[in-house]
Amino acid sequence: MSPLGRVLARQIAAGGPITVADYMAACLTHPEHGYYVGRDPLGKAGDFTTAPEISQMFGELIGLALAQAWIDQGRPDPFTLAELGPGRGTLMADLGRATATVPGFRAAARLWLLEASPVLKARQGKMLPGSAATWIAQIDALPQQPLFLIANEFFDALPVRQFQRGPGGWHERMVTLDAQGALAFARAPAGPVPGPPPPAGVPDGTVIERRAAADPIVTAVAERIARHGGAALIVDYGAWGGIGDTLQAVKDHQPADPLAEPGQADLTAHVDFAALAAAARQAGAAVASLTPQGVFLERLGITERARALARNLTGAARSSHVAAHRRLTHPDEMGTLFQVLGLHAVGTPPPPGCAA
Ligand code: SAH
């Protein structure tokens, strides 16, 4: 068993089963053994890769979209340029390069980064030299001023609770110990489900997920946008609503058993964009329609950008560039699995790439 597995087994033996959300939070951000606390999980040598690591085009186009939204809203100065879960800092570095020629953008921007991992924070610092970023651990620390924000593959790492339909109602799915002392899933007695009413008429065994940790984050972002102006692009895998057990572990670029090695594998669950949109609207922001990543990037001109970059490439570099373009946009790859939710101030146009 992994070191965190032993910690959790002791905790469960003493205090009883824990929720899937508590399990996920411990796996990802336990102060000593959490997956994100002690490692850089990204890239070929890591466990998984992300859009900004696949191609510079992703961060460039996000940057130009946010800069256009900033222009559309009257070029507020100063404004917060924020990223949630910036990983290696690659997206922000590409964004910075692409927006360097937008008059006034850089001078007005104050960079704020929300990051839980000390290892990734150090990497971001190296990747963004001289950019005077402020790192925060809590969203409420974001200043009260216009906010232009990107979050790519951030919300999927926030813990979810799971509830399973049984004959007696909805049972919370728990993590417990089996007879051999190994971690195992179990069902709590039927009880209430937090958040929106669970779907009616679904078959026994159906699992639904609730991500309470996302609400205060979306609320804080949307409140600032509503009050001071701004826009946010939330990119992740998931759907509008959605049903089912989407908890997944990934290690060495392969699916893994979520209970096998707590703290040693990445753990995510799909994002329910309807829940994020509801929280954003409640806090007073306008919400654009959910857009597949492929459509979003095409609208922002990824094909023209890909062609321009291809002109200077030959051989293997050119093939890998063509493959990266396809990977980001094609419906069989990340093009429809990943979706983009745009938030903006009421009365302003939706962020470029998104439609009202
Ligand atoms: N956006 C980056 C990294 C995605 S991985 C990219 O696209 O490459 C998820 C990121 O969110 C990491 O930087 C991780 O450390 C951070 N993260 C995960 N849970 C977090 C939490 N609860 N609070 C703050 N940051 C968190």
Over residues 259-267, the mean pLDDT reads 96
The predicted structure's pLDDT at residue 160: 98
- What is the pTM for the complete model shown? 0.97
Nearest residue by C-alpha to atom 17 in ligand 1 = 85
Closest residue (by CA) to atom 21 of ligand 1? 116
Identify the pLDDT of residue 283: 98
**Ramachandran quadrant class, 74 (left: phi over 0; alpha: psi -120 to 50; beta: rest):** left
106 vs 81, 97, 129, 144, 192, CA distance in Å? 9, 10, 14, 19, 48
Domain 1-299+339-350 has CATH 2.40.30.10: no
Q: What is the per-residue pLDDT for 4?
A: 97
> Using CA positions, which residue lies closest to atom 2 of ligand 1?
87
Contacts of 333 (CB under 8 A, 6+ apart): 326, 327
Give distance in angstroms: CA of 154 to centre of ligand 1. Answer: 5
> pLDDT tens for residues 214-252?
999 999 999 999 999 999 999 999 999 988 999 999 999
Q: In this predicted structure, what is the pLDDT of residue 130?
A: 81
Residue type, 136: I
3-state secondary structure of 142: coil
- Ligand 1 centroid to Cα of residue 294, in Å, is 22
Q: What is the pLDDT of residue 2?
A: 93
For ligand 1, the distance from its centroid to the CA atom of residue 62, given in whole angstroms, is 17
Q: Place 38 in a pLDDT band, splitting at 50, 70 and 90.
A: confident
- Closest alpha carbon to 158 in 186, 139, 144, 171: 139
What spacing in Å lies between the alpha carbon of 28 and ligand 1's midpoint? Answer: 10
Q: How far is the CA of 87 from the centre of ligand 1 (A)?
A: 6
Provide, rounded to the nearest whole percent, the portion of the chain with pLDDT above 90. Answer: 95
Nearest alpha carbon, ligand 1 atom 23: 116
Confidence class for position 349, pLDDT limits 50, 70, 90: very high
Segment 336-354 mean pLDDT: 97
For atom 10 of ligand 1, which residue has the closest CA? 85
- pLDDT higher than threshold 90 for residue 277: yes
What is the Cα–Cα distance from 309 to 217, expressed in whole angstroms?
Answer: 36
Average pLDDT, the chain: 96
Give counts: helices (H), strands (E), the chain.
Answer: 12, 17
Q: What is the mean pLDDT of residues 101-108?
A: 96
Q: What are phi and psi of 62, to 5 degrees?
A: -60, -45
pLDDT at 307: 97
Please say if the pLDDT value at position 173 is more than 90. Answer: yes
The minimum-distance atom of ligand 1 relative to the CA of 152 is 1
pLDDT at 1 over 90: no
Q: How far is CA 350 from CA 29, 67, 341, in A?
A: 34, 13, 10
> What per-residue confidence (pLDDT) applies to 299?
98
Provide the residue type at 237 as one letter.
Y
Which pLDDT value is given to residue 129? 84
Q: Name the nearest CA neighbour of 71 among 318, 348, 353.
A: 348
Choose which residue among 114, 117, 266 to substitute to test ligand 1 binding: the one with the highest number of ligand atoms within 8 A of its C-beta: 117
Question: CA nearest 344: which of 289, 287, 291, 281?
Answer: 287
Closest ligand 1 atom, CA of 36?
Answer: 15
- List ligand 1's pocket residues with C-beta within 6 A: 28-29, 36, 42, 50, 52-53, 85-87, 91, 114-117, 120, 152-154, 157-158
Q: State residue 233's pLDDT score.
A: 98
Residue 164 tokens read as: 């399973």
| pLDDT for 44 beyond 90 | no
Tell me: the pLDDT tens digits for 280-337?
A: 999 999 999 999 999 999 999 999 999 999 999 999 999 999 999 999 999 999 999 9
* Residue 131: predicted pLDDT: 83
How much distance in Å is there from the Cα of 152 to the middle of ligand 1?
8
Check residue 113 and give its pLDDT: 98
CA–centroid distance, 282 to ligand 1, in Å, is 25
The Cα 123–Cα 138 span in angstroms is 19
Domains of the chain by residue range:
1-299+339-350
Quote the ligand 1 centre to 156 CA distance (angstroms): 9
Mean predicted confidence (pLDDT) in 88-108: 97
Cis previous bond, 146, omega within 30? no
- Integer Cα distance of 314 and 307 in angstroms: 12
Q: In the prediction, which pLDDT does 223 show?
A: 98
Answer for the pair 342, 273: CB distance below 8 angstroms, yes or no. no
Model pLDDT, residue 167: 85
Average pLDDT on 2-22 reads 97
Q: What average pLDDT does range 178-195 have in this prediction?
A: 96
